[in-house]
């Protein structure tokens, strides 16, 4: 390589010095010194590129002939140098087609041309044609040559003893660099070096200033932001300064933490409706290979759209961005403290870390503030909403009202479905369904009804968890499905994501559970609503209980009245004969126990009196005995009479009714005429007796019972069983302790005291004074068969009193030939005619005190002559002992 | 090929950059001084553009346990993240022989964290585990100096010349990614204190080396063979003696 150094040239010039030349040389040095001084002082004033360019253009060009000057800077990062400053106003190469390329090129340092510059101790010049064809020479040499430039003078700019760049001076005149010029350049190179590093420093400072004021502007802009829209405007304004044509999007992490949704954006780059709606309305899964990378990166990231599409071809938004012409994009996470809020995606090709971080810090704060604001507004709304709800609910008195209030609130305002409210029963163990939305599971009615019907306990796994929890639990439907929760299959049918289960509490007391399906519920709202619902339920329960008490009181009242009506009937049982003595013994034997008693006996024998006597002698006597006449009610009503019903259990059941069984709890239930009970009711009765609990008709709740049963009948139940009209199993349950009441005709000795008793009773109530009863009448009473037993006697006495005169009963109207006589079961037994005849004659003789013939005799009653009776007695073997016993 | 050498201004980095440029590659020497910072992320994305190979030869400015862990984790995450985005095809890192068995030492834990991040990144990689550089011996002596005495262990020691390290790094960087680690070491094996002793003598350092017989390295207990390759290793060409000679010439 040929090089023309200053020494070689000056050597030529200084070959033959003369005085003149010497003088000239002195002059020259003087001039040189002056130029140097002047330039130096100018150079110290250089602040920016323009100053330096002016200096080259105006000052140096004014002194020497050159075509143009360039400063290049070394980048040690990749060991290159590149144009920094171009004084090319008059430069001939500006018109060269490679000019722009040259301006932006990075020329490698490791080639001989620039290395020789670096190694030269002073500015060094080259003739372009000598070096430009060297294989590694930088192309700008040829470019200059092609535009007529002949020679280049290169000087190395130094900073802290390290090469920082080069000064290139070009001339189109051959031999155009004078010794003086070279010497001057050599002299001012240190000043040019420091001028260049000053310019760099200044530019850096300026850039920093700009960034700072940019961020400052942005921050004051952001400080006024209160809403999403405001944020969008502020970000758009700022980013527009960075990249006027670029768009941006801020995505926010959704509450499920599984996806991000667009928060604010500028999509002005496209007008394609399809793209816009797709981008605006989508939810993007967090782990899509881009968003998760951004969220995990502490620094801004630069992405190449095409490369990311290759990586995750399914990511729709990348395709759209590509269509929008975004080659690259930057992504930065938005973070408040240690919490990721979302990401900022920008249409940018380069990353200025400081600037982006600054922007993101501001955006994050604004976003956090807006979110906090939104939260506050939401909380306020929720609170006022709760207040309204609480007003609604204080007016609630019945379940129906409550149901209406709850459904309105949950469905309309919270997009929540009430699945079920269960309430803890009085026993503190069971939970019954209190309210539920059957329409919630329309396709699964069977399963849901089954579940509703099951009376769970507080120990049930899910219920126990809920009751034990402080503020309720959330069951994720999908997860519960995986865990094999049987309920979850049902939940799933609603399409809602979560089941919220909360304890209902009044004070510290659990009163039940509430189950609601929703995608998401505000904890504050749910808590508030549950508190209100709890109170409302407690009120309704109290109301219902009050109603119950009222009803019970009314019913009890009725019974009291009935009791008062019949009080004289059972204060005493009249009769001291042998047969009754046996009955009394049985009563006193059984009264203390809880044993069921079956009282049998013909109609009118006083079975109810016996039942009351048993009750009154039992430990249950403090409570009222409850009586049901099974024959008195139509078969269709007997069950509800006995067991009660829930409202709506059947047509006509407008109200809830407490059954006689429930009423008789802890007391005695007297089932009169049990033989008349329909078979269906018998079955149910049997179940209640066996299980000692019952369910109201149409009810789901079972009620534990402690009831003593006394049944009575005038039928022969064994015959009824044979005929299929009575259940044998029920009979065995009832017939634990049978008491048979003898018919009045078998206790003739009691007829007189009974008659006197009834005379007393009716004399008092009618106000008549009966002083005597004729012996004839008494005799007549004794000889009658009394098919209607004591009751018939009572009625007869009552009638006779009304017909009496002068306080004397002279006659009594015993029905002649009473038809029922033939019906008397005693006479209808399967016996031979002789047997019937024999026993009938004995009966009659007994009633007639053994008198065979004459007035008031058996013969008279039987309407046969005395002789005939005598011979019949002989024939049938009737002796005195038979009728005197 | 475009290659980015992170820590390109460091001891090994400078040499690797020079050797790669010598071979005609387009090399970017990345370091905070050249505007490429793996901690702040400055210049990183731009440097990674169109890059084929990244060689990480950076080191933490502070060796305090927490600081060094923070450095290698943050730098590792940022660098690997940028590489993934840029589609880099080979990541090469310089680690230390025995790093996995000296986890009681903070620096080793940090280097292990760096290795783990690389393995998990999904980027094709080669991890080069090197023994200590000759240049490091002075530092080892200094940290073991008490007054005029240098108390050093007799653990096995097989230091390597930084030129050799750089040559190996270049070789493996230009080769296909191994997706594994390989080990490199110096040609000769010593007891640690011997090397320091020889070094100080050669440097005419008045300090006296005393073998304390404790198997330790930077204050942490290690096995005798922890610092030397257990199996096959690539051995450097420059012997300790040869290196010493050049050191005096340079001085
Ligand atoms: N020393 C040993 O015996 C030994 C043994 C085996 C392996 N190694 C490993 O070899 C590697 C290189 O060691 P070395 O001695 O060559 O290191 P070194 O001379 O200390 O150089 C460290 C390099 O890291 C750069 N650096 C620091 N912070 C940076 C950042 N935030 N971003 C980018 N670059 C950064 C430095 O740049 P600046 O110059 O701009 O600060 C410098 O170029 C280390 O990873 C080390 O663990 C060392």
CA distance A41 to A191: 9
Minimum CA distance residue for ligand 1 atom 11: B57
Do residues A110 and B21 make contact, with C-beta atoms less than 8 angstroms apart? Answer: yes
Q: Are residues A642 and A602 in the same domain?
A: yes
Which range among A243-257, A834-848, B75-89 has the greatest average pLDDT?
Answer: B75-89
CB contacts, 8 Å: B26 with chain A: 78
A415 assigned to some structural domain: yes
pLDDT digits (tens, 9 = 90+) for A738-781: 999 999 888 888 888 888 888 888 877 777 777 777 888 888 88
Indicate yes or no: CB of B85 within 8 angstroms of CB of A353.
no
Residue in A75, A77, A299 nearest the CB of B78: A299
Does the beta carbon of B123 lie inside 6 Å of ligand 1? no
Which range among A469-478, B50-59, B198-207 has the greatest average pLDDT?
Answer: B50-59
CB contacts, 8 Å: A77 with chain B: 8, 28-30, 34-36, 47
Do residues A424 and A567 make contact, with C-beta atoms less than 8 angstroms apart? Answer: no
CA distance A450 to A635: 30
**B145 reaches A (C-beta below 8 A):** no
Q: Is the pLDDT of residue B214 over 90?
A: no
Does the beta carbon of B136 lie inside 6 Å of ligand 1? yes
What is the total residue count of chain B? 251
pLDDT band at residue A2 using 50, 70 and 90 as cut-offs: very low
- Final residue belonging to a domain, choices A511, A545, A579: A545
Say what the pLDDT of residue A562 is: 59
Say what the pLDDT of residue B197 is: 94
CA of B206 to the centre of ligand 1 (A): 30
Q: Are residues A483 and A608 in the same domain?
A: no
A574 assigned to some structural domain: yes
Say what the pLDDT of residue A450 is: 72
Say what the pLDDT of residue A818 is: 46
ipTM for the predicted complex comes to: 0.89
Is pLDDT larger for residue A375 or for residue B222?
A: B222
CA of B17 to the centre of ligand 1 (A): 13
Mark A307-325 as b/e (b = at least 16 C-beta within 10 Å): ebeebeeebebbebbeebe
The two three-digit tokens of residue A443, written as one number: 């396709």
pLDDT band at residue A102 using 50, 70 and 90 as cut-offs: very high
- CATH number for the domain harbouring residue A692: 3.40.50.300
Say what the pLDDT of residue A395 is: 75
Question: Which residues 71-130 on chain B approach chain A with CB closer than 8 angstroms?
Answer: 74, 77-78, 81-82, 84-87
CB contacts, 8 Å: B49 with chain A: 302
pLDDT band at residue A293 using 50, 70 and 90 as cut-offs: very high
- In total, the C-beta contacts within 8 angstroms joining chain A to chain B are 68
Say what the pLDDT of residue A460 is: 86
Q: Are residues A694 and A588 in the same domain?
A: yes
pLDDT band at residue B36 using 50, 70 and 90 as cut-offs: very high
Residue in A77, A298, A307 nearest the CB of B29: A77
Does the beta carbon of B162 lie inside 6 Å of ligand 1? no
The contacts of residue A455 (CB under 8 Å, 6+ apart) are: A430, A431, A432, A700, A701, A702
Which range among A27-36, A188-197, A448-457, A561-570 has the greatest average pLDDT?
Answer: A188-197
Q: Are residues A512 and A596 in the same domain?
A: no
Strands (E), A722-795: 737-741, 772-773
Beta bridge partners of B126: B92, B180
Mark A181-190 as b/e (b = at least 16 C-beta within 10 Å): bbbbbebbbe
Do residues A295 and A331 make contact, with C-beta atoms less than 8 angstroms apart? Answer: no
Do residues A136 and A112 make contact, with C-beta atoms less than 8 angstroms apart? Answer: yes
Say what the pLDDT of residue A636 is: 75
> Please, what is the average pLDDT of chain B?
94
3-state SS class at A251? strand
Does the beta carbon of B37 lie inside 6 Å of ligand 1? yes
Residue in A76, A304, A353 nearest the CB of B41: A353
CA distance B39 to B75: 5
Say what the pLDDT of residue A831 is: 61
How many other β-carbons are positioned within 10 Å of the β-carbon of residue A475? Answer: 21
Say what the pLDDT of residue A885 is: 59
Alpha-helical regions (H) of A501-600: 523-565, 567-570, 578-590
pLDDT band at residue A13 using 50, 70 and 90 as cut-offs: very low
Q: Do the strands A248-253 and A259-266 form a parallel or antiparallel pair, or are they unpaired?
A: antiparallel
Indicate yes or no: CB of B46 within 8 angstroms of CB of A301.
no
A344 assigned to some structural domain: yes
pLDDT digits (tens, 9 = 90+) for A618-635: 889 888 889 998 888 777
Which residue, B163, B147, B212, B157, is CA-closest to B188? B157
A202-A203-A205-A209 Cα dihedral, nearest 10 degrees: 130
Mark A336-360 as b/e (b = at least 16 C-beta within 10 Å): beeebbbbbbbbbbebbbbbbbbbb
A22 assigned to some structural domain: no
Of the given ranges (A102-116, A152-166, A461-475, B42-56), which has the lowest mean pLDDT? A461-475
Report the residue of chain A nearest B82, measured CA to CA.
A301
Does the beta carbon of B121 lie inside 6 Å of ligand 1? no
CA of A849 to the centre of ligand 1 (A): 140
Q: Are residues A824 and A876 in the same domain?
A: yes
Q: Are residues A199 and A233 in the same domain?
A: no
A755 assigned to some structural domain: no
Q: Is the pLDDT of residue B108 over 70?
A: yes
The two three-digit tokens of residue A814, written as one number: 């015993």
pLDDT band at residue A74 using 50, 70 and 90 as cut-offs: very high
What's the gap in Å between the CA of B89 and the closest CA on chain A? Answer: 13
CA distance A24 to A814: 184
Q: Does domain B2-250 have CATH number 3.30.110.30?
A: no
Residue in B21, B43, B82 nearest the CB of A79: B21
Q: Are residues A705 and A791 in the same domain?
A: no
Average pLDDT estimate for A548-565: 70
pTM above 0.90, yes or no: no
Does the beta carbon of B30 lie inside 6 Å of ligand 1? yes
Task: Provide, rounded to the nearest whole percent, the portion of chain A with pLDDT above 70.
Answer: 92
Does the beta carbon of B13 lie inside 6 Å of ligand 1? yes
A326 assigned to some structural domain: yes
Is pLDDT larger for residue B196 or for residue A651?
A: B196
Q: Is the dihedral of CA B27, B31, B33, B34 positive or negative?
A: positive
Do residues A861 and A847 make contact, with C-beta atoms less than 8 angstroms apart? Answer: yes
- Final residue belonging to a domain, choices A352, A367, A382: A367
Does the beta carbon of B190 lie inside 6 Å of ligand 1? no
Q: Do the strands A808-809 and B2-6 form a parallel or antiparallel pair, or are they unpaired?
A: unpaired
Say what the pLDDT of residue A429 is: 86
pLDDT band at residue B57 using 50, 70 and 90 as cut-offs: very high
Q: Is the pLDDT of residue B216 over 80?
A: yes
- Name the residue of B5, B42, B47, B59 to mutate for ligand 1: max ligand atoms within 8 A of Cβ: B59
A376 assigned to some structural domain: no
3-state secondary structure B36-52: CCCCCCCCHHHHHCCCC
Say what the pLDDT of residue A381 is: 80
Q: Is the pLDDT of residue B30 over 90?
A: yes
Burial of A303 (0-12, 13-18, 19+ CB in 10 A): buried
Q: Are residues A283 and A360 in the same domain?
A: yes
CA of A488 to the centre of ligand 1 (A): 58
Say what the pLDDT of residue A713 is: 94
CA distance A468 to A478: 23
CA distance A431 to A537: 14
- Give the structural domain span for A456: 394-545
Say what the pLDDT of residue A414 is: 67
Q: Is the pLDDT of residue A533 over 50?
A: yes
Rounded to 5°, the CA angle A416-A420-A422 comes to 140
pLDDT band at residue B142 using 50, 70 and 90 as cut-offs: very high
Burial of A623 (0-12, 13-18, 19+ CB in 10 A): middle
Beta bridge partners of A703: A694
pLDDT band at residue A1 using 50, 70 and 90 as cut-offs: very low
- Final residue belonging to a domain, choices A154, A178, A205: A205
Say what the pLDDT of residue A15 is: 47
Q: Do the strands B190-191 and B156-157 form a parallel or antiparallel pair, or are they unpaired?
A: antiparallel
Which range among A78-92, A390-404, B149-163 has the greatest average pLDDT?
Answer: B149-163
What's the gap in Å between the CA of B41 and the closest CA on chain A? Answer: 6
pLDDT digits (tens, 9 = 90+) for A332-356: 999 988 899 999 999 888 888 888 9
Beta bridge partners of B90: B53
Which residue, A665, A752, A677, A678, is CA-closest to A711? A677
CB contacts, 8 Å: B77 with chain A: 296-298
How many other β-carbons are positioned within 10 Å of the β-carbon of residue A154? Answer: 21
What's the gap in Å between the CA of A356 and the closest CA on chain B? Answer: 11
Minimum CA distance residue for ligand 1 atom 18: B10
Minimum CA distance residue for ligand 1 atom 32: B37
* Interface with A, mutate which of B45, B72, B74 (most A CBs under 10 A): B45
A107 assigned to some structural domain: yes
Domains of chain B, by residue range, sit at 2-250
CA of B59 to the centre of ligand 1 (A): 3
What are the angstrom distances between the C-alpha of A417 and each of A435, A440, A453, B218?
A: 12, 7, 20, 66
> Please, what is the average pLDDT of chain A?
83
pLDDT digits (tens, 9 = 90+) for B217-244: 887 899 999 999 998 899 999 999 999 9
What's the gap in Å between the CA of B42 and the closest CA on chain A? Answer: 6
Is pLDDT larger for residue A402 or for residue A563?
A: A402
Q: Are residues A341 and A231 in the same domain?
A: yes
CB contacts, 8 Å: B5 with chain A: none
Indicate yes or no: CB of B81 within 8 angstroms of CB of A299.
yes
Give the end-to-end CA distance of chain A in Å, rounded to a whole number: 169
CA of B125 to the centre of ligand 1 (A): 19
- CATH number for the domain harbouring residue A80: 3.30.450.40
Indicate yes or no: CB of B29 within 8 angstroms of CB of A76.
yes
Does the beta carbon of B133 lie inside 6 Å of ligand 1? yes
What's the gap in Å between the CA of A145 and the closest CA on chain B? Answer: 27
pLDDT band at residue A142 using 50, 70 and 90 as cut-offs: very high
Indicate yes or no: CB of A301 within 8 angstroms of CB of B82.
yes
Total number of domains in chain A: 5
């Amino acid at each position: 390589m040929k090089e023309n150094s200053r020494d070689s040239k000056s050597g030529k010039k200084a070959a033959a010095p003369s005085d003149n030349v010497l003088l000239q040389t002195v002059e020259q040095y003087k001039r040189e010194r002056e130029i140097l001084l002047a330039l130096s002082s100018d150079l110290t004033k250089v602040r920016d590129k323009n100053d330096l360019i002016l200096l080259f253009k105006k000052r140096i060009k004014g002194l020497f002939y050159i075509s143009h000057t360039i400063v290049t800077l070394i980048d040690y990062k990749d060991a290159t140098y590149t144009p920094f400053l171009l004084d090319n106003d008059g430069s001939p190469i500006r018109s060269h087609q490679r000019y722009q390329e040259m301006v932006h090129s990075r020329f490698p340092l490791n080639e001989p041309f620039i290395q020789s510059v670096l190694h030269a101790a002073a500015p060094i010049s080259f003739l372009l044609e000598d070096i430009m064809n060297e294989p590694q020479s930088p192309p700008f040499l040829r470019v200059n040559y092609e535009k007529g430039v002949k020679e280049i003078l290169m000087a190395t700019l130094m900073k802290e003893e390290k090469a920082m760049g080069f000064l290139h001076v070009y001339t189109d005149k051959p031999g155009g660099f004078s010794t003086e010029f070279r010497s001057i350049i050599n002299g001012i190179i240190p000043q040019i070096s420091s001028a260049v590093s000053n310019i760099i420093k200044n530019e850096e400072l300026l850039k920093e200033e700009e960034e700072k004021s940019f961020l400052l502007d942005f921050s004051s802009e952001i400080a006024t932001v209160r809403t999403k829209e405001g944020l969008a405007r502020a970000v758009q304004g700022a980013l527009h300064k960075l990249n006027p044509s670029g768009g941006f999007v801020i995505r926010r992490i959704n509450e499920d933490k599984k996806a991000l949704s667009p928060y604010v954006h500028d999509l002005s780059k496209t007008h394609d409706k399809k793209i816009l709606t797709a981008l605006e309305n989508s939810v993007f899964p967090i782990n899509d290979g881009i968003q998760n990378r951004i969220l995990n990166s502490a620094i801004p990231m630069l992405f190449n759209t095409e490369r990311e599409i290759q990586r995750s071809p399914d990511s729709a938004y990348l395709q759209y961005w590509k269509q929008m012409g975004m080659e690259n994009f930057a992504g930065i996470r938005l973070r408040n403290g240690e919490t990721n809020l979302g990401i900022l995606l920008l249409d940018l090709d380069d990353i200025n870390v400081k600037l982006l971080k600054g922007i993101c810090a501001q955006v994050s704060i604004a976003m956090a503030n807006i979110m906090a604001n939104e939260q506050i507004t939401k909380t306020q709304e929720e609170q006022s909403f709760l207040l309204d709800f609480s007003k609604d609910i204080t007016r609630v008195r019945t379940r129906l009202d409550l149901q209406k209030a709850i459904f309105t609130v949950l469905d309309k305002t919270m997009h929540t479905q009430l699945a079920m409210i269960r309430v803890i029963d009085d026993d503190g163990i069971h939970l019954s369904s209190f309210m539920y939305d059957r329409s919630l599971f329309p396709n699964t009615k069977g399963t849901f009804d089954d579940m509703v019907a099951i009376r769970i306990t507080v120990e049930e796994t899910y219920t126990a968890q809920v009751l034990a929890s402080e503020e309720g639990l959330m069951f994720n439907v999908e997860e519960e499905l995986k865990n094999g929760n049987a309920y979850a299959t049902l939940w799933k049918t609603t399409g809602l994501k979560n089941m919220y289960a909360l304890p209902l509490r009044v004070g510290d007391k659990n009163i039940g559970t509430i189950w609601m399906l929703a995608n998401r519920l505000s904890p504050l709202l749910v808590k508030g609503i549950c508190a209100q619902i709890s109170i409302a339920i407690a009120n309704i329960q109290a109301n219902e209980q009050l109603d119950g008490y009222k009803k019970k009181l009314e019913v009890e009242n009725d019974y009291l009245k009935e009791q008062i009506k019949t009080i004289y009937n059972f204060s005493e049982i009249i009769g001291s004969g042998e047969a009754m003595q046996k009955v009394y013994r049985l009563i006193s034997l059984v009264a203390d126990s809880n044993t069921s008693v079956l009282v049998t006996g013909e109609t009118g024998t006083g079975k109810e009196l016996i039942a009351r006597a048993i009750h009154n002698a039992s430990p249950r006597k403090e409570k009222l005995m409850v009586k049901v006449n099974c024959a008195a009610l139509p078969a269709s009503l007997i069950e509800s009479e006995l067991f009660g019903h829930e409202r709506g259990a059947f047509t006509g059941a407008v109200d809830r009714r407490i059954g006689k069984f429930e009423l008789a709890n802890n007391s005695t239930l007297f089932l009169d005429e049990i033989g008349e009970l329909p078979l269906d009711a018998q079955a149910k009765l049997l179940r209640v007796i066996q299980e000692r609990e019952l369910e109201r008709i149409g009810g789901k709740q079972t009620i534990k019972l402690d009831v003593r049963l006394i049944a009575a009948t005038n039928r022969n139940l064994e015959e009824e069983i044979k005929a299929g009209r009575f259940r044998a199993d029920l009979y065995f349950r009832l017939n634990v302790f049978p008491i048979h009441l003898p018919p009045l005709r078998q206790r003739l000795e009691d007829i007189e005291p009974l008659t006197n008793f009834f005379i007393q009773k009716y004399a008092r109530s009618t106000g008549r004074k009966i002083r005597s009863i004729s012996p004839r009448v008494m005799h007549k009473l004794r000889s009658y068969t009394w098919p209607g037993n004591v009751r018939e006697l009572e009625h007869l006495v009552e009638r006779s009193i009304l017909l009496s005169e002068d306080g004397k009963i002279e006659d009594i109207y015993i029905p002649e030939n009473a038809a029922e006589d033939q019906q008397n079961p005693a006479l209808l037994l399967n016996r031979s005619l002789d047997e019937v005849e024999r026993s009938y004659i004995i009966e009659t003789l007994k009633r007639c005190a053994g008198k065979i013939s004459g007035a008031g005799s058996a013969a008279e009653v039987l309407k046969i002559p005395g002789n005939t009776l005598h011979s019949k007695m002989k024939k049938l073997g009737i002796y005195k002992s038979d009728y005197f016993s | 090929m475009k290659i980015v050498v992170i820590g390109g201004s460091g001891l090994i980095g400078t040499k690797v950059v020079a050797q790669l440029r010598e071979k005609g590659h387009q090399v970017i020497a990345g370091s905070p001084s050249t505007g490429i910072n793996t901690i702040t992320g400055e210049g990183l994305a731009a440097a990674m553009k169109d890059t084929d190979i990244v060689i990480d030869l950076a080191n933490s400015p502070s060796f305090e346990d927490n600081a060094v862990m923070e450095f290698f984790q943050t730098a590792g995450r940022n660098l690997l993240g940028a590489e993934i985005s840029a589609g880099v095809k080979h990541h090469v890192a310089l680690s230390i022989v025995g790093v996995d068995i000296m986890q009681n030492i903070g620096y080793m834990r940090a280097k292990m964290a760096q290795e783990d991040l690389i393995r998990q990144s999904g980027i094709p990689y080669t991890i080069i585990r090197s023994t200590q550089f000759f240049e490091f011996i002075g530092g080892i002596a200094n940290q073991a100096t008490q007054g005029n005495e240098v108390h050093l262990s007799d653990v096995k020691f097989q230091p390597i010349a930084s030129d050799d390290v750089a040559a190996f790094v270049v070789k493996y960087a230009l080769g296909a990614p191994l997706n594994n680690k390989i080990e490199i070491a110096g040609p000769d094996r010593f007891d640690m204190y011997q090397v320091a002793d020889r070094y100080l003598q050669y440097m005419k350092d008045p300090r006296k080396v005393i073998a304390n017989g404790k198997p330790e390295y930077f204050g942490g207990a290690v096995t005798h063979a922890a610092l030397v390759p257990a199996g096959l290793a690539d051995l450097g060409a420059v012997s300790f003696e040869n290196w010493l000679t050049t050191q005096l010439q340079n001085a």
